[in-house]
Amino acid sequence: MSGDASTMVIVEDLHRSYGSAGSDAGAVHALRGVSCRVPRGELVALRGRSGSGKTTLLNLIGGLDTPDSGRITVDGTPLADLGETGLLEMRRDRIGFVFQSFGLIPILSAAENVGVPLRLRKVPAREREERVALLLSLVGLADHARQRPGELSGGQQQRVAIARALANRPALLIADEPTGQLDAETGLEVMELLRAVVRSEGVTALVATHDNTLLGLADRVLTLNDGLITEEGAHSREGEPSQAGQRG
């Protein structure tokens, strides 16, 4: 893991505090010097208890927030070099986001939701329809294209959100607790879909989760503890709690 070409995300000594700027009193140090790497083509899980800084880190990597100090490079581009427009284009064209709450537009059908990022890029209708159909079949929802989010199960809604996140063929997929609102079995299906998509679409994924099942599917697990990365390494079943090794 030496050259930049093999690394999708490089995070160096990242700090982010919330609250009273200038004074330390009352400030929350969400990230206190985080450094980590996400290798290209891998599914990387980010774990850590509530409040450990997972969402803060994902939002910074995704260009939704800016750090107090430190450096983030995504797909070879230092985010600090991008202005507002550059960041917007990065988020639109090179990063796909999946959130715990799905974030679908209620009045649009599944197919229309998946097509939104393509409309934003002014992709012609014919090409858009073909891509949407392909994505919906990729996530197993070809037969549900016309249903609105309210007419789909939670797991199906998250599948639509994943299809939408992949619409513009992003280099990086960022998912913040994508199974947080799903039951264990549906959550596993969504995680397995993410696992499959990383292989078939050649996308790199960074997924925050409390869910132990994803940890077994990930290529690598990063652990955040109180704003610091305390563990980093390729996934290994050795040293895992014994109940984690029963699948497969």
Ligand X SMILES: Nc1ncnc2c1ncn2[C@@H]1O[C@H](COP(=O)(O)OP(=O)(O)OP(=O)(O)O)[C@@H](O)[C@H]1O
Residues that bind Mg ion (CB under 5 A): 54-55
Binding region for ligand X (CB under 6 A) out of 54-62, 101-109, 132-140, 234-242: 54-62
How far apart are CB 224 and Mg ion at their closest, in Å?
10
Rounded CA separation 40/44 (Å)? 10
187 counts as binding ligand X under rule CB under 6 A: no
Binding-site size for ligand X (CB under 6 A) equals 12
- In the complex with ligand X, the residue whose CB is nearer, 52 or 156, is 52
> Which option in Mg ion, ligand X, none does residue 50 bind, with CB closer than 5 to 8 A by kind?
ligand X
Q: What is the DSSP letter of 145?
A: T
Rounded CA separation 10/68 (Å)? 16
How far apart are CB 53 and Mg ion at their closest, in Å?
8
| CA 179 to chain centroid | 12
Question: At 130, which helix (H) or strand (E)?
Answer: helix 125-138
54 counts as binding ligand X under rule CB under 6 A: yes
How far apart are CB 45 and ligand X at their closest, in Å?
13
18 counts as binding ligand X under rule CB under 6 A: yes
Q: Is 232 helix (H, G, I), strand (E, B) or coil?
A: strand
- The answer to whether the CB of 34 falls within 8 A of the CB of 11 is yes
> Which option in Mg ion, ligand X, none does residue 17 bind, with CB closer than 5 to 8 A by kind?
none
Q: Which residues contact 143 (CB under 8 A, 6 or more apart)?
A: none
